[in-house]
């Protein structure tokens, strides 16, 4: 599977776009049944035929998703506490294809985790995802590692490409993520 972030990068660099790569090719690269079924049935959410989730991921990677809003200190986001504990550290947005580059001692922030993230999850002081529930991959693995985790964080997704370098305070018990600065 090619991650949406790689497709977004290719789109940003002009390697694909309207009239260059058919939507069903991108859907096949993502291996997403929703994308593929929508593209096959002729219903397209955009000119490249992506499902709403993948379209949002690509928009985030391109920095097109925040609608003029900014991520500022003292903002608090809520989600579901998936693994108890608290941690305060610099945050890093991590896409699956760069998970191996994650720096130890930071808060791992992403859409959702997969087995490709396990090495990064081991090095994280806390994990924050914008998707998932108490039984998702991030929740289960964070509990195994004893790392505080908040999943399904609402309102953070449009800012994912802007969180790196900010300090986050994560409370895995209460399910809150506080942007310290």
Residues carrying an active site annotation: 137
CA dihedral 126, 69, 64, 124 (to 10 degrees): -10
In Å, how far are 64, 88, 121, 133 from 126, measured between CA atoms? Answer: 27, 8, 8, 16
Give the chain's length: 181
Q: How many CB atoms lie within 10 A of CB 27?
A: 24
Q: What are phi and psi of 29, to 5 degrees?
A: -65, -35
């Amino acid at each position: 599977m090619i991650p949406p972030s790689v497709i977004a990068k290719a789109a940003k660099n002009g390697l694909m776009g309207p009239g260059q790569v058919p939507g069903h090719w991108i859907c096949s690269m993502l291996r997403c049944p929703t994308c593929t079924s929508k593209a096959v049935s002729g219903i397209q959410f955009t000119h490249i035929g992506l499902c709403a989730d993948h379209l949002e991921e690509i928009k985030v990677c391109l920095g097109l998703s925040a609608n003029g809003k900014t991520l500022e200190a003292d903002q608090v986001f809520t989600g579901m506490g998936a693994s108890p504990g608290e941690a305060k550290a610099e945050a890093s947005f991590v896409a699956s294809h760069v998970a191996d580059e994650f720096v130890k001692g930071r808060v791992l922030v992403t859409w959702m985790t997969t087995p490709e993230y396990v090495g990064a999850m081991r090095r994280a002081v806390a994990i924050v995802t914008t998707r998932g529930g108490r039984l998702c991959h991030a929740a289960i693995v964070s509990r195994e590692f004893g790392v505080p985790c908040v999943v399904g964080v609402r309102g953070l997704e449009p800012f994912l490409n802007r969180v790196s370098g900010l300090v986050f305070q994560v409370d895995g018990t209460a399910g809150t993520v506080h942007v310290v600065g």
